[in-house]
């Protein structure tokens, strides 16, 4: 029965996450998770956190984590906002910065949560088409001064903008907020964090889920001008004063402290990605240049949907999008070397049969 639903709920078309079937063991290359565990220091810190203090509420300001992020990225702690995963941070940002009378612009092939938030908050939007190479043309966003959100690297393509291109967006839209969603930035793109002091309309969002292997803790953050961060805090404190629990706070701080482990695991993923891309190219695949922890691939002779189904039947999950312009592409998350070798073996058999 839906008669009790509000009109808002009736019009929603919710975000659909990557499938997680439980019928058999799978090699999961469909949700862009890090194939390597968190830093051992994170695990140790979480064990230390488990205790009688869990009866107490966590710090609503998350001051320890904000200070750790500020120190790591060399910004003021007043320029840092934290939330329950970058999805929640983005949800608060949509409510804080985007009006119902101004169109928000983002790529037509991009993170599919963006139109969901627009529907939830009744924000008008315009999808700006990627070019024929599935790249973002920054010139397409300079026609009018309005709000913008762009993932960098873009998802699901993995293609990144350089810092000069991002700066041109900010210069062309000085009276509106520009959000750069950097969920995958640590795998090869340039972060826009260095531009925060120069552009008061810039918000940069990141997450601990991907490059720091903490998807299970749900911790995301934003950085920007203090006035923008205050707006996010006002929204957060009107919704949930305690978005991060004690485990998320302590675990995220420990992850930031272990720089050697972070760099080692990040480079392992990048190395495996590049090796896998070269191997897929030899098998006749078109693979887009990736600055992320996934590859976007297409084969001229074998439909992506069929490949997705055949890989799944052999215990390998990848992501298929039944959407215009990309319905012959698969998004393949980067796993361990052993997992990617298995993928290459199976997919080689499929396209060579």
pLDDT top residue among 337 and 8 = 337
pLDDT top residue among 15 and 266 = 266
**249-283: per-residue pLDDT in tens?**
999 999 999 999 999 999 999 999 999 999 999 99
Beta-strand pair 330-333/294-298: antiparallel
Angle at the Cα of 14 (from 80 to 19), degrees rounded to 5?
90
**208-255: per-residue pLDDT in tens?**
999 999 999 999 999 999 999 999 999 999 999 999 999 999 999 999
CATH 3.40.640.10 domain extents, the chain: 40-257
**300-314: per-residue pLDDT in tens?**
999 999 999 999 999
pLDDT number for residue 151: 98
Q: What is the pLDDT averaged over residues 113-131?
A: 94
Q: What is the pLDDT averaged over residues 325-338?
A: 97
Q: Which of 259, 255, 260, 265 is nearest to 42 (CA)?
A: 255
Q: How confident is the model at residue 19 (pLDDT cuts 50, 70, 90)?
A: confident
Q: How much is the pTM?
A: 0.95
Beta strand extents in the chain (DSSP E only): 27-28, 80-83, 104-107, 125-128, 148-151, 178-181, 202-207, 220-224, 286-287, 294-298, 316-317, 319-320, 330-333
How far apart (Å, rounded) are the C-alpha atoms in residues 221 and 204? 8
pLDDT number for residue 353: 66
- Residue 98: CB atoms within 10 A of its CB come to 22
pLDDT over 80 at 23, yes or no: no
Comparing 50-54, 64-68, 70-74, the range with the smallest average pLDDT is 50-54
C-alpha distances in Å from residue 26, one per residue of 91, 230, 295, 341: 31, 43, 19, 14
Q: How confident is the model at residue 352 (pLDDT cuts 50, 70, 90)?
A: confident
Q: Which CATH number describes the domain made up of 18-37+262-352?
A: 3.90.1150.10
Q: Which of 303, 249, 307, 240 is nearest to 91 (CA)?
A: 240
CATH 3.90.1150.10 domain extents, the chain: 18-37+262-352
pLDDT over 70 at 298, yes or no: yes
Q: What is the pLDDT averaged over residues 164-193?
A: 96
Comparing 17-21, 136-140, 172-176, the range with the smallest average pLDDT is 17-21
pLDDT number for residue 25: 84
pLDDT over 70 at 332, yes or no: yes
CB 38 within 8 A of CB 213: yes
- CATH class entry, domain 40-257: alpha beta
Beta-strand pair 80-83/178-181: unpaired
């Amino acid at each position: 029965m839906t008669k009790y639903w509000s009109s808002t709920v009736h019009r929603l078309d919710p975000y659909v996450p990557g499938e997680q079937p439980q019928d058999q063991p799978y090699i999961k290359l469909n949700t862009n998770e890090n194939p390597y565990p968190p830093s051992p220091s994170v695990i140790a810190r979480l064990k230390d956190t488990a205790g009688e203090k869990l009866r107490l509420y966590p710090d609503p300001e998350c001051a320890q984590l904000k200070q750790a992020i500020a120190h790591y990225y060399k910004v003021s702690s007043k320029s840092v906002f934290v939330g329950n995963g970058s999805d929640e941070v983005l949800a608060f940002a949509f409510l804080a910065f985007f009006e119902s009378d101004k169109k928000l612009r983002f790529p037509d092939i991009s993170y599919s949560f963006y139109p969901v938030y627009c529907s939830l908050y009744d924000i008008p939007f315009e999808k700006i088409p990627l070019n024929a190479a599935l790249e973002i043309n920054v010139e397409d966003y300079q026609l009018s001064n309005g709000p913008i959100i762009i993932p960098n690297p873009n998802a699901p393509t993995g293609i990144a903008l350089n810092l000069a291109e991002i700066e041109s967006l900010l210069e062309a839209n000085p009276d509106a907020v520009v959000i750069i969603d950097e969920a995958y930035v640590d795998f090869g793109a340039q972060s826009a964090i260095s531009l925060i002091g120069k552009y008061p309309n810039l918000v940069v969002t990141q997450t601990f889920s991907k490059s720091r292997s903490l998807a299970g803790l749900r911790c995301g953050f934003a950085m920007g001008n203090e006035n923008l961060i205050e707006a996010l805090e006002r929204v957060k404190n009107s919704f949930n004063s305690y978005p991060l629990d004690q485990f998320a706070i302590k675990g995220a701080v420990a992850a930031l402290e272990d720089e050697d482990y972070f760099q080692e695991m990040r480079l392992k993923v990048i190395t495996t990605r590049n090796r896998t891309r070269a191997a897929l190219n030899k098998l006749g695949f078109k693979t887009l240049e990736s600055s992320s922890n996934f590859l976007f691939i297409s084969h001229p002779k074998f439909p992506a949907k069929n490949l997705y189904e055949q890989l799944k039947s052999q215990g390998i999950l990848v992501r298929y999008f039944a959407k215009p312009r990309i319905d012959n592409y698969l998004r393949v998350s980067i796993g361990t070397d052993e997992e990617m070798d298995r993928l290459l073996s199976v997919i080689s058999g499929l396209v060579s049969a």
